[in-house]
Each structure stands twice: as structure tokens, then as C-alpha cells.
Amino acid sequence: MSTPDETAVEMVRRQQPCLNCGAPLLGEFCYQCGQPKKGMIRHLPGLIADFLDSALNLDTRTLRTLGPLLTKPGFLSNEYFAGRRTRYVTPLRLYLFMSVLAFLMVSIVTPVRDGRDNGFHVSVGDRSAPAEAGLAVTDAVAERQRAREGRAPETVPEADLVVTPDNPNPGRVSIFNTTPWHPVDNPVRVAWLGETGNAWLNTKVGMLIFNSIEANKHPAKFVAAMFSVAPQTLLMILPIFALLLKLFFIFKRRLYMEHLIVALHSHSFLCLAILLLVLLNQVASWTGTWPVVPWLVGLLVFAMSCWIPLYLLIAQKRIYRQGWLMTGFKFVCIGIVYTVLLSFGMVLNLFWALASL
């Protein structure tokens, strides 16, 4: 009579081997390489059933995540730290989904008028010069590099990155110091960037100047570009915000990744709140003639505006478990620093959008 161990070994031998690595399959996935037992080459009804199962599972997790994200401050982060992760959408995927959805909705509903008098103006001197400089900047940089071969290095002036509001030389583009920028005669030069880096930088400067003029004529294109890079801007600020949490709560001895999870959930909530505020404003505009709905929508907008800072404060209290006085003090300090970082990021976002149109 065989022992239980011998029976188990015999069952393993009878299992179908993995087609990728040859290890015995003990379930739907190979424990050695991770390849699934079922491939795409099978009957169509089975593929449709698996697709519907995955879709319904994703929808269930999404609904299970969005509720606490909106109404339970700090709940998702504490659940993640407790090891209950599978039942909710992962923090990074949740943030990417909410940020793209929120900014897409904002870009769709933002009214933009096409024309010269649109409220967005950039003064850079004569409007014919920037267009020529922007369109020909790549060729001009190449011309400058060829010209340097027969010119002493010190004859190529360097421009300081100092922005001036006035243009002392009408008819030319003047945004660097008092000397008009020119891709050949007066380019921007950074010594440690090298020729390739400086060529790329001056190309971006030329496109920035040209597109700032085009944005006055066609602001819809500029707004679309700005909102398209806004999620990436917030994503770059996220690690810095997590570092702030690490510094302010250094005695809690939490890992940096824990603070990053908190930052992802906090920003996901902010994106969800922005999305709801945009939708509420749209409802108010659609039902402007109704007697009760605009008042009710206004009340909801006011409640949501109050809930945003209160939510973040309660989440910080529940996650880091400090007293209300210390939590409130750190909340205000982090808010001030974060506002400065966000403003700086949005300025960079503005210039990058102009240079990337």
C-alpha cells in the first residue's frame, strides 16, 4: 500500500507539464515561470467567458474602491498596509485612472474661444519675428554650429536666463536679459550641456516663442496640450510629496513606500473630487432654468469644497495616529510647501506645453 507522500508524487508526475519551462502544472498557472495553463488558442466561447469574468472582476474592484476613496479618509491606505490589497484597485493604477479621467473631463468642458481676443496674451515683441524664429530654429542651430568652425569661441555671446517684461528692441524676440534671443547670433548656452543639449534647448526656446504667439490665435490647441501633460506633472510631484510626509513623520519609522502609497491615495481622492465638481458644474449649467436643481447643485459643490481639506486632515490623523494638535500643525505646514511645489510644477507645465505644441 502506497503512502500519502508517494501518492502525491505520483499525482505530480501525471500532471501536464508547462509548455514553456516543462515544470509540472499544479494549477491554472505555472509556479516556475508564471505562464497560464490556458492560452489564446482555444474555443471562442471560453475566451469570451474569461473576458467577461475579468471585466466583471475589474468593475467589482473599482466600485469597491471608489466608495471608500470618497467617503472613508485613510481607509484604503490602512487596508493596503494591513495586507488586504487584492480586493481593491492598486494605488498607482487608481491614481493614473482618476487623474487621466479628471483632466480629460476638465479639458472637454473648459470653454475656449478661438480668436485674437481670448484673454490669453504673451508679449514678445513683433509677432512676425517669433514665427520665423520658431519655424526655422532647427536649421538656425545647425547654421550656428557650422558658423562656429570659422569663428572664435568667445565671439558667440551667451544669454542669461533672466526674463524681462519689456522688449527694448521692437521687431525682434527679446525674452533673455536685454539682448534679443537668436538661435545663431545670441543663443542660450549652458556649458555642461554640450552641443547636442544646447541645440535641443534652443529648439525648445524657439518653439516656446513661436507657440506662445500661436496660442493667442488658437488657444484650444494650447489648452489641450496643457491638460495632456498635467497628469504627468502631478505624477512627478508625487515622490516629492511622499518625501515631505517622510520628513514630517520621520519618528513614525515608516518606509518611504508607505508614504508614497498615502500620497497616491490622497491624489486619487483629489482627482475624484475635481471630477465630481466638474460634473456638478455641468449639471448646473444644463439645468440652469430649473427652480431647485441649481440651488441643490450649489449646496453639493459647497459641501465637496469643504470636504476636500477635511478629508485630507482626517486621513492624515487616521494613518499616522498623532494628536489633533500635532496633526493639524503638520497638515498646515505640508499644505503650504505642497502649494509652492504645485505652483512651480504648473508653471513648468505651462512652459512645457508651449514648447511641445
Looking at residue 259, its pLDDT comes to 95
Is the confidence at residue 43, as pLDDT, over 80?
no
Q: Give the residue from 290, 286, 284 showing the smallest Cα distance to 304.
A: 284
HSE-CB of 219 using CA atoms within 13 angstroms: 15
Looking at residue 22, its pLDDT comes to 79
Length of the chain: 357
154-170 average pLDDT score: 42
Domain boundaries, the chain: 1-37, 40-113+219-357, 128-217
Please tell me the distance from the alpha carbon of residue 158 to that of residue 168, in angstroms, as a whole number.
Answer: 18
* Grid coordinates given for 52: 467577461
23-31 average pLDDT score: 81
Q: Which residues sit opposite 17 in a β-bridge?
A: 24
* Grid coordinates given for 125: 515683441
Please tell me the distance from the alpha carbon of residue 267 to that of residue 312, in angstroms, as a whole number.
Answer: 10
Name the residue with higher pLDDT: 145 or 170.
145
pLDDT category of residue 184 using cuts at 50, 70 and 90? low
Is the confidence at residue 289, as pLDDT, over 60?
yes
Is the confidence at residue 319, as pLDDT, over 60?
yes
Name the residue with higher pLDDT: 2 or 252.
252
* Grid coordinates given for 165: 517684461
Q: Give the residue from 29, 54, 31, 27 showing the smallest Cα distance to 39.
A: 29
Over pLDDT 90: what percentage of the chain? 27
Looking at residue 54, its pLDDT comes to 63
**pLDDT tens for each residue of 333-351:** 999 999 998 888 877 777 7
Is the confidence at residue 147, as pLDDT, over 70?
no
Please give the full DSSP string across 148-176, using - where no structure is assigned. Answer: HTTS-GGGS--B-----SS-SSTTS---S
Name the residue with higher pLDDT: 36 or 164.
36
Task: Pick the range with the lowest mean pLDDT from 95-99, 117-121, 254-258.
Answer: 117-121
Is the confidence at residue 327, as pLDDT, over 80?
yes
Name the residue with higher pLDDT: 66 or 289.
66
Task: Pick the range with the lowest mean pLDDT from 40-49, 51-60, 197-206, 224-233.
Answer: 51-60
Is the confidence at residue 307, as pLDDT, over 70?
yes
Please tell me the distance from the alpha carbon of residue 188 to that of residue 140, in angstroms, as a whole number.
Answer: 13
Q: Give the residue from 63, 61, 103 showing the smallest Cα distance to 86.
A: 61
Over pLDDT 70: what percentage of the chain? 61
HSE-CB of 260 using CA atoms within 13 angstroms: 10
297-310 average pLDDT score: 92
Looking at residue 323, its pLDDT comes to 92
Looking at residue 206, its pLDDT comes to 73
Please tell me the distance from the alpha carbon of residue 15 to that of residue 10, in angstroms, as a whole number.
Answer: 9
pLDDT category of residue 4 using cuts at 50, 70 and 90? low
**pLDDT tens for each residue of 5-26:** 555 555 555 667 888 887 888 7
Per the confidence metrics, is the pTM higher than 0.75?
A: no
Is the confidence at residue 153, as pLDDT, over 60?
no
DSSP single-letter state for residue 191: G
Is the confidence at residue 274, as pLDDT, over 80?
yes
The CA-CA-CA angle for residues 223, 229, 235, to 5°, reads 140
Is the confidence at residue 156, as pLDDT, over 50?
no
